[in-house]
Chain A
Amino acid sequence: MSERPIHFYFRGAIRQLDGVAPTRTVLQYLREDAHACGTKEGCAEGDCGACTVVLGERVDGQLRLRAVNACIQFVPSLDGKALFTVEDVDSVGGLGVTGLLHPVQQALVDRHASQCGFCTPGFTMSLFALYENHPECPSRATVCDSLSGNLCRCTGYRPIVDAVPLAYAQPRVGVDRDAVLAALDGMAALPALDYVGAGRRFSAPDSLPALAAACLAAPGARLLAGSTDVGLWVTKQLKDPGDLIYLGAVEELKAIRTDAAGLFIGAGASLTDAFAALTAFAPAWAGLARRFASLPVRNAGTLGGNVANGSPIGDSMPGLIALGSEILLQRGERLRRMPLEDFYLAYQKTALEPGEFVLGLQLPPQPATRHFRTWKVSKREDQDISAVCGAFAIDVSDGHISGARIAFGGMAATPLRARATEAFLLTRPWDAATVTAAAEVLAHEYTPLSDMRASSAYRSRVAAGLLHRLWLECAAAAAPRSLADLEDSL
């Protein structure tokens, strides 16, 4: 590693940046330093999407473009990447110089999809990423998913959604990918980033051994992946997170593989990639994956971050625990593994030792007889924090329950298994009477908090309700058994 400026591709050239604090956000850089004010601040916590920008990286030889929230990305995390903002969009294909708009922009104008216009740059960027990633017009569900992190208070969204088919009806344009890739390749030759600014260090080791060594050498340093949580410590709590070790440059950490041992997901895999793998592994993840935060947050955040953060309301952990996942930890050259539920010791306290980091998660092969579901319940469908997130893995043989793993988020200080309910279910017949009785056990198993998301009583009733839903779905009760069923039938 070496001390050098941050390098990133921006406005058609490689930029070098020095002297700024490592926690300066991309949004602050754009608006205050580069005086590029097209990108807006709506909330500074990654929840409104007014600051959406698109990052380009080389992945498997191709240019991958993904939308992220500039307000909670730190500038050094741009190193080696390409940054696109709303000001770039009408120069794609050389349109801007002729006074023409990008098809996405023209469609937004033609569909009357902006009113006050403050959220519009963010929507433009989310749709620009969607357009670049889909040669053909995507489904409405895909469009909505791509906009799940963008709030609009004026239009009610209909014209924005309707703009997409119109954009595809126009002659197609595209980013000059070769030019961007050439710039990315040029930066790839640089040594790993070890940046110091405003008295704080931002190290970005680029291999697993280098990461292990960096963690050992600086056990007090904060590990940073997608900064979808650490970003808020800075923008909202005005905390100084100290020296940072960035995980994003460690390719090995992003590995995802399926083999005889089951599914392995590296801690550095983005939530977008991780949920794609989880859904392929167990299709019941699909609904949760879509409702997990928003697309820009899933693009930036990692599964390892969600798990290591140890929040009682992280949405990946109930399902991972129900499926019997193990967490793999590395410290120096020492590897250890433990059942994921054992990783959580108390509220925001985990088994992670100083100098240790999460290597990944291992999901064992799943028996064919297993019924697995995971659901979240919150006030809003898109980008909300769960009141309750539940997961059930019930093994049934010869009509009896031979295995039961049930885990919840939002019900306790940590993600927690419902062991009393599991014990009740075990060996009993898999039928409505058992489920009804087990739901009673479950309704009293936890003593959840009351807060602005939900009351304790509501959480307990919903936990029991989800067990009923599991039964209805697995016992093939007549649809609709859930609102999702109803939507599927529309």
Chain B
Amino acid sequence: MNAPDTAQAAIGAGLPHESAHLHVTGRATYVDDIPVPAGTLHAALGLSSIAHGRLLGLDLSAVRAAPGVRDVIVAADIPGINDCGPVKHDDPILCAGEILFHGQPLFAVAADSHDAARRAARLARVEVEALPALLTAEAAAEAESWVLPPVEVKRGDTPAALAAAPHRLRGEVNLGGQEHFYLEGQIACAIPGEDHTLRLLTSTQHPTEMQHMVAHALGWRVHQVIAECRRMGGGFGGKESQSAQIACIAAVLAVRSGKAVKLRLDRDDDMRITGKRHDFRIEYEAGFDDSGRLLGLKLLLASRCGFSADLSGPVNDRAIFHADNAYYLDAVDILSLRGLTHTVSNTAFRGFGGPQGMFAIESVMDDIARHLSHDALAVRQANFYGDSAGEQRNVTHYGMQVEDNVIAPLVAQLAASSDYTARRAAIDAFNAASPVIKKGLALTPVKFGISFTATFYNQAGALVHVYNDGTVLVSHGGTEMGQGLYTKVRQIVAHEFGLPVDDVRLSSTDTSRVPNTSATAASSGTDLNGKAAQAACRTIRARIAGFVAERLGVLQEAVQFADGRITAPGFDAAFGEVVADAYRARIQLWDAGFYKTPKIHYDPVTMQGRPFFYFAYGASVSEVAIDTLTGESKVLRVDILHDVGRSINPALDIGQIEGGFIQGMGWLTTEELVYASDGRLATHAPSTYKIPAVSDLPRDFRVALFDNANVEDSIHRSKAVGEPPLMLAFSVFFALRDAVAAALGPGARPQLDAPATPEAILKALNGGAL
């Protein structure tokens, strides 16, 4: 509006989020804000109050008799398949007889109001036979209780390498899970249509999967259901598979009653019912030389998956793939255990297992440095992947050559710009003189693989309409959860047509416009959908250019699109005028585009291949302080240097970096999921589960983009940015560990578990027990 939005400026411009003016005025509509048809019913769920057992009786008479109640359903009332599992079909929509976790939905109520439904849902009389419950990853491993079989990835002769290593070390650490805490809770509104059809308004990262799941639950075919999402109030992976149960229940109730049904979970129910980031038990044995360079590594990654497989297979696979982070692992043996427990089914969460694998190797690096009394940065640098060109130490444990490695120069640049060496010395001096308050410093790198490991997911479609007046409407398969996908696609489309971004509008994501979409996940939204939209634009542009070229008798290549105008030698007209003429000349002004990521392949059995198109890199330095009397901590300064390739929108990219960092910091510091001994989640509301708040923002927070065009042909040579920055927060955790070590004295390897709450820090200060 203010700045001149020329085509040339569209790519690389820090434009505001396309909905920002709606966000700040409260005029952006989320599912719960969309006006509903008269007579819409509101649903609520009745939950189990044991972790594991048999459902012997369910007396719902009081529920049915409650004021305003119109319908109550149990598993047997689901006309189609009682399953909403995305991969392995072991996710009952409603309890089918065996209670699998505390909080599992047993039945659903539809009533005249949200309040009436919630009140009625508490009136059931439930008879159960309790069975022993497995609640932790360790308990699952001990019982050999798996949602999916263990996976082992090996390279070289690890036992021999460990035996021959000059130094050997064993370690273990517990890494907590994380609640997504999207501000907008799970919600779906199902509106029955004519002739056995249903329109589903859903807050989801995966409209196509919602469409499929709802059709399966109803016993319908897929073309009977339309799923639509304009925006989510946050997703973070929590609305990939987890939105299906909500959608299916709303749909079944809607079809039974013939009325629109909205299911909006109360926050506490949302936190009890939906899956979270997997917590991990990590154990390792490392062999290394005097410089700290790894010679052999044996690593156990045991996760708590919960009661079903959900996405735990690919999540744990990604943990294996990222157990190298930025480091070359020569002889390595990784065992991945996928524990079945009687807790919520853990799911996708920003990073998708990658963070857990990377945390493991960062723990190893930190321990090696402390064991050798080396600076941790030097040990990390000694282990970096080698130069891509040199073809030394540059093949991952899954057989992929790292061709775009920039970690060494990136870290060197950050170490210099953050004054790492001088601050290290200053902190050591501070600690020597400060008995109660101790400071810590850490620099940690990030290398994150971009692409869905399920290769078939790496495809996208888009539908671009150029209207007669020269305005453009774009649909694509990606969903907007705040990350700015719509904004970036708008810039990409504006660029292709040489239009100001105001002439391009994004429509909601709708399975009736673009079908067979992939989840907006794996940081891939812009890479995939941006390319698909670009392809559609280029088809249309070529037709318009051909039309102009034919009229003028010039080559098509001579027709230019810029500044809202179409020009050629001797020709200069507004885009809208040319388009109107083209329409009258019966030129097709709309088309679909399709994209599939090139180069990638991998064998899920051997876990070898090239699962990733490219890597995104970054690094951060954090300086923290702890109070040794209470374990409280404070992040004092953070410096980040991150690789987003050639940025399409640096303002949005910095937003992803900062937001991801703070979210990762929360995971590793204040966000603690506590399960009671009966399997009940004790931290099921923001009063007890503490995501970062404004005072947790580091006072001194310096974020910069690393100048590094993608070597691969990604959309405008940019790089994915959704997930990688989360792992920048490792520097906070390892700085805290550094501060604890400073209090304990030389050579200490503190037993600090994540999250590093005040209690965890005080425990580590006290040698691991209180």
Establish whether residues A118 and B686, one from each chain, have CB atoms under 8 Å apart when the complex forms.
Answer: no
Establish whether residues B231 and A117, one from each chain, have CB atoms under 8 Å apart when the complex forms.
Answer: yes
Give residues of chain B (676-693) contacting chain A, Cβ–Cβ below 8 Å: 682-683, 685-688, 690-693
Establish whether residues A458 and B770, one from each chain, have CB atoms under 8 Å apart when the complex forms.
Answer: yes
A50, A451, A453, A466: the one within 8 Å of B629 (CB):
A466
- B661 near A: Cβ within 8 Å? yes
Establish whether residues B22 and A47, one from each chain, have CB atoms under 8 Å apart when the complex forms.
Answer: no
Establish whether residues B28 and A42, one from each chain, have CB atoms under 8 Å apart when the complex forms.
Answer: no
Q: How far is the CA of A144 from the CA of B694 in the complex (A)?
A: 6
Give residues of chain B (538-574) contacting chain A, Cβ–Cβ below 8 Å: none
Give residues of chain B (191-225) contacting chain A, Cβ–Cβ below 8 Å: none
Once A109-B24, A116-B183, A119-B183 are accepted as A-B contacts, the answer to whether A158 and B627 lie under 8 Å apart by CB is: no
- B182 near A: Cβ within 8 Å? yes
Q: How far is the CA of A118 from the CA of B483 in the complex (A)?
A: 13
Task: Look across to chain A and name the residue whose beta carbon is closest to the beta carbon of B26.
Answer: A38
Q: How far is the CA of A262 from the CA of B770 in the complex (A)?
A: 42
- B587 near A: Cβ within 8 Å? no
- A427 near B: Cβ within 8 Å? no
Establish whether residues A377 and B29, one from each chain, have CB atoms under 8 Å apart when the complex forms.
Answer: no
Segment of B161-169, B631-639, B746-754 engaged in the interface with chain A:
B631-639
Instruction: Note all chain B residues with C-beta closer than 8 A to A490.
Output: 636, 699-700
- B17 near A: Cβ within 8 Å? yes
Once A101-B21, A379-B757, A455-B759 are accepted as A-B contacts, the answer to whether A39 and B26 lie under 8 Å apart by CB is: yes
Establish whether residues B483 and A458, one from each chain, have CB atoms under 8 Å apart when the complex forms.
Answer: no
How many Cβ-Cβ contacts under 8 Å join chain A to chain B?
271
Least CB distance from A321 to B in Å reads 21
Question: A106-134: contact bitstring with B at CB < 8 Å (1 yes, 0 no)?
Answer: 10111010111111110010000000000
Establish whether residues B24 and A153, one from each chain, have CB atoms under 8 Å apart when the complex forms.
Answer: no
- B236 near A: Cβ within 8 Å? yes
Establish whether residues A87 and B181, one from each chain, have CB atoms under 8 Å apart when the complex forms.
Answer: no
- B518 near A: Cβ within 8 Å? no
Task: Look across to chain B and name the residue whose beta carbon is closest to the beta carbon of A462.
Answer: B630
- A156 near B: Cβ within 8 Å? yes
Q: How far is the CA of A487 from the CA of B683 in the complex (A)?
A: 30
Establish whether residues B686 and A47, one from each chain, have CB atoms under 8 Å apart when the complex forms.
Answer: yes
Least CB distance from B185 to A in Å reads 8
Establish whether residues A115 and B694, one from each chain, have CB atoms under 8 Å apart when the complex forms.
Answer: no
Main SS at interface, chain A: loop
Segment of B87-95, B327-335, B650-658 engaged in the interface with chain A:
B650-658
- B30 near A: Cβ within 8 Å? yes
B16, B185, B686: the one within 8 Å of A45 (CB):
B686
Segment of A333-341, A381-389, A398-406 engaged in the interface with chain B:
A381-389
A50, A156, A486: the one within 8 Å of B634 (CB):
A486
- B709 near A: Cβ within 8 Å? no
Question: A28-62: contact bitstring with B at CB < 8 Å (1 yes, 0 no)?
Answer: 10011001011111111101101000000000000
Q: How far is the CA of A469 from the CA of B437 in the complex (A)?
A: 11
Task: Look across to chain B and name the residue whose beta carbon is closest to the beta carbon of A21.
Answer: B115
Q: How far is the CA of A198 from the CA of B630 in the complex (A)?
A: 50
A35, A37, A377: the one within 8 Å of B632 (CB):
A377
Instruction: Note all chain A residues with C-beta closer than 8 A to B687.
Output: 45, 47, 385
Least CB distance from A140 to B in Å reads 8
20 contacts between A and B (CB under 8 A): A37-B33, A86-B25, A108-B24, A121-B26, A153-B234, A153-B663, A154-B234, A155-B655, A156-B659, A156-B663, A157-B693, A236-B685, A238-B122, A377-B758, A379-B757, A452-B688, A458-B758, A461-B766, A462-B630, A490-B700
Closest 3 CB pairs of A and B: A38-B26, A118-B233, A116-B482
On A, residues with C-beta under 8 Å from B are: 28, 31-32, 35, 37-45, 47-48, 50, 85-87, 89-90, 101, 104-106, 108-110, 112, 114-121, 124, 144, 147-148, 150-161, 236, 238, 377-385, 387, 451-455, 457-458, 461-462, 465-466, 468-469, 472, 478, 480-483, 485-487, 490
Beyond contacts A43-B685, A101-B21, A380-B696: 14 other A-B pairs, Cβ-Cβ < 8 A, are: A50-B183, A109-B21, A112-B655, A114-B24, A117-B22, A119-B233, A120-B23, A151-B691, A155-B662, A156-B692, A157-B693, A465-B627, A490-B636, A490-B700
